[in-house]
Amino acid sequence: MAYRRWFLILTLLLMACGREEVPSATVEMEDPVQLGARKARVCMGCHGPKGISRIASYPSLAGKSEAYLAEQMRAFKSGERENPMMNAMATNLNEDDILHLAAYFSAQATPGGEPQGGAGD
């Protein structure tokens, strides 16, 4: 009787070790737009929900070119482009953060509902 119990336990352990399922949360986390959405929460205070600003002095980021957005964040981080608030915010961004934020904001629709495609400012 004890032999059967140990055999069953060993069989269950071996079956559990053979599984290589990827949790759905891990797959979601690999999507740059999803990663950017999480990081963009900090940006909403000035640039508005989904990158559509409600304040004229803060530019909308929605639908702008991914390359343009990444370039601007790098310029704020390095100090090449000066704005006290953005320089402080960009200081803490690493390259992955910059790419994810750029992917997120470029994927958003503009206030008119269509992507801008260009830089705009």
CATH homologous superfamily of 30-107 equals: Cytochrome c-like domain (1.10.760.10)
pLDDT digits (tens, 9 = 90+) for 34-71: 999 999 999 999 999 999 999 999 999 999 999 999 99
Mean pLDDT rounded to a whole number for the chain: 82
User: What is the model's pLDDT at position 67?
Assistant: 98
Task: List CB contacts of 14: < 8 A, sequence separation 6 or more.
Answer: none
Q: What percent of the chain has pLDDT over 90?
A: 65
Better pLDDT: 70 or 18: 70
pTM, rounded to two decimals: 0.70
Confidence of residue 79 (pLDDT cuts 50, 70, 90): very high
- Could you tell me the sign of the dihedral formed by the alpha carbons of 71, 36, 42, 105, in that order? positive
